[in-house]
Amino acid sequence: MRILGIETSCDETGIAVYDSELGLLSHTLFSQVGIHAEFGGVVPELASRDHVRKTIPLIKAALLEANCSAADIHGVAYTAGPGLIGALLVGAMVGQSIGFAWNVPAIPVHHMEGHLLAPMLEKGAPAFPFLALLVSGGHTQLIKVEKIGSYEILGESLDDAVGEAFDKTAKLLGLGYPGGAALAALAEKGRSDRFYFPRPMIDRPGLDFSFSGIKTFAVNAVARAGNDEATRADIARAFQDAVVETLTIKCRRALELTGLKRLVVAGGVGANLALRENLKIMTAKNNAEVYFPRHEFCTDNGAMIAYAGCQRLLAGHKNNLSVKVHPRWEMQAIEA
Ligand code: KG4
Ligand code: ZN
């Protein structure tokens, strides 16, 4: 089965062709970062308009790269939520229209399910069941995954998502938007023994997170110590150390509580090297294994949507021709 995947939930247009036998045949991506940078965040209307411009040309490019035509495609998968409503509507309209024109099913996909299944695109993909740490710009969740479609949220952030905390702290340090990767690069140059930021909620039982307080520590540190290059690097380091250790402690606790031995990390913050390193060490000590998608499939992409849509079609999901998107959408509400 060969599926065209369309991702337009936020500020990246991602298109891919995935084949259930041969694997990923092509993927293309256009990032709108340059369009939104001057506004310090994503401008929804500009995002929708650019998806309108890019989606069809990128689909053509992905088909060409996969060396296939419309006749070779058995279904179209598009992100139906969560995300920006206008941006989602572009992908949904294009997906449903292509499905109708090519007479193949068009399948709505949950964006976070896409992220969660992204490690399945790699060689040596994890077997079910597993624990998933989803860390993106809008979500921080620990999820027990029994099988595709069976997702139990064990814990989540009560306030800011990790990616959001990275982005806000990066902005404070003058690193632009989205600044997660830039903050991580700056942290590499910083000292870990100059500032100490708290590890929120680790002494409370349970698996929930809170990241809005760490940001306040960054604000106070800047006010106290100044904003020279070395200080900014030390603050970035203290912030990243605190976030990484907090996530690692909660992952270890979740593995212990569930008895699971496989941990899957997904979402944009999964690209963070310090987080990857710490989770590798922690899982090795606990006789568990950790799985990551390749760097480019941590952040938004079409490949994860094509993969998730393919699994849904293989599981017998049908098309209903309605263009319905869900700006807010709980993962537990997905049909199994
Ligand atoms: O998954 P994603 O592309 O979009 C959402 O679905 O939200 O995640 C984007 C988030 C942003 O907050 C970005 O700053 C963060 O992932 N991010 C990183 C890194 N690369 C991207 N955060 C920390 N370290 C990184 N290397
Ligand atoms: Zn995402």
pLDDT digits (tens, 9 = 90+) for 305-336: 999 999 999 998 887 778 889 999 988 878 76
CB of 242 shorter than 6 A to ligand 1: no
- 179 alpha carbon – ligand 1 mean position (Å): 8
- 243 alpha carbon – ligand 1 mean position (Å): 13
8 Å CB contact between 306 and 18: yes
Please give the pLDDT value at position 333.
Answer: 79
Q: Whose CA is nearest to atom 3 of ligand 1?
A: 299
Q: Clarify whether residues 253 and 302 are in a common domain.
A: no
- Chain centroid to Cα 201, Å, comes to 23
pLDDT tens digits, one per residue of 11-23: 999 999 999 999 9
Please give the pLDDT value at position 55.
Answer: 98
- The DSSP result for 105-131, as a single string, is -EEEEEHHHHHHHGGGGSTTPPPSSEE
CB of 184 shorter than 6 A to ligand 1: yes
Residue 252's closest CA among 274, 275, 285? 285
Q: Clarify whether residues 204 and 233 are in a common domain.
A: yes
Q: Say if residue 226's pLDDT is above 90.
A: no
Q: Is the dihedral of CA 194, 200, 205, 207 positive or negative?
A: negative
> What's the CA angle centered on 310, arms 316 and 262, to 5 degrees?
105
Interhelix angle for 180-187 vs 273-285, to 10°?
A: 70
- 175 alpha carbon – ligand 1 mean position (Å): 14
Distance CA 183, CA 62 (A): 32
CB of 268 shorter than 6 A to ligand 1: yes
For residue 29, give the H/E element and its range: strand 23-31
Q: What is the mean pLDDT of residues 32-60?
A: 96
CB of 270 shorter than 6 A to ligand 1: no
pLDDT tens digits, one per residue of 158-171: 999 999 999 999 99
Distance CA 288, CA 89 (A): 40
Token pair, residue 46, equals: 């500009």
Q: Clarify whether residues 108 and 187 are in a common domain.
A: no
Q: What is the mean pLDDT of residues 97-125?
A: 95
Q: Clarify whether residues 149 and 278 are in a common domain.
A: yes
Q: Say if residue 176's pLDDT is above 90.
A: no
CATH code of the domain in which 74 resides: 3.30.420.40
With respect to residue 219, please indicate whether it lies within any of the assigned structural domains: yes
Between the alpha carbon of residue 27 and those of residues 45, 61, 117, 193, the distances in Å are 25, 9, 16, 42
CB of 271 shorter than 6 A to ligand 1: yes
CB of 5 shorter than 6 A to ligand 1: no
* DSSP state for residue 245 in the 8-state scheme: H
Q: To the nearest whole percent, how much of the chain has pLDDT over 90?
A: 90
Please give the pLDDT value at position 110.
Answer: 95
With respect to residue 123, please indicate whether it lies within any of the assigned structural domains: no
- 125 alpha carbon – ligand 1 mean position (Å): 22
Structural domain including 198 reads: 128-292
Please give the pLDDT value at position 243.
Answer: 97
